[in-house]
Amino acid sequence: MAKLLMKNYPLFFSLILIGSGIHGQPSIKVFGYEQESSRGTVSANVKDEKGNPLKKAATQKNYFIYLSLKQKYIVTPLQVFIDGKAFPTEANIIKTTSVEYIDNNILSNPEKITLVPKTDDKIIQLKIADTVLVKKTSALQKLTNKNEVVVSYTWKQKKYFAVLKKLKKLDPVLNE
């Protein structure tokens, strides 16, 4: 028995580690979408009340970021880094999936886009606020250099990161 255990020691030890649940952070999948938003067009030769020509408003970006993880895990999202910029975040648990977005750019034919497919996993929507300055560690800098989205979160009082290589683009939205 001892010889058998010694021969298969690496396999035996691996099974104990996997079975004991001490194998690191929870598996988290990140879904991320980016959408340009502009305030519409400005007619030529339109001036403000002081007679200055009106300029087209800068294009803004809307971000739709979601985390998917097993129901048993309790994580606390801290920040989202998009293209290296840090954003504080507010987390909302989505009760029912799938998560869908309605693209109303063509009013006669709105398009339904699935952002997160139907799942039994817990889905957390991350709403981001204005960017903040953050001093990044070298490990975080490497992650933000290689990935468009990096989410920092805590689990069991330890800090971890989940990443998304590339944001998916949604059609731009034009606001009046």
C-alpha distances in angstroms, 119 versus 54, 58, 69, 116, 168? 48, 37, 10, 8, 20
Residue-wise pLDDT tens digits, 135-158: 889 999 999 999 999 999 999 999
Point out which residues pair with 81 in neighbouring strands: 86, 150
Residue-wise pLDDT tens digits, 99-123: 999 888 777 888 899 999 999 999 9
Question: Average pLDDT, stretch 44-58?
Answer: 68
Contact 36, 103 (CB under 8 A): no
CA angle 102, 103, 108 (to 5 degrees): 105
CA angle 87, 91, 92 (to 5 degrees): 145
Residue 6's pLDDT is: 52
Residue-wise pLDDT tens digits, 63-103: 999 999 999 999 999 999 999 999 999 999 999 989 999 88
Q: Is the pLDDT of residue 164 over 80?
A: yes
Contact 105, 171 (CB under 8 A): yes
Six token digits for residue 10: 């690496």
C-alpha distances in angstroms, 84 versus 36, 81, 145, 150? 18, 5, 7, 8
Query: What count of other Cβ atoms lies within 10 Å of the Cβ of residue 163?
Result: 16
Domain ranges for the chain: 30-174
Please give the model's pTM, rounded to 2 decimal places: 0.76
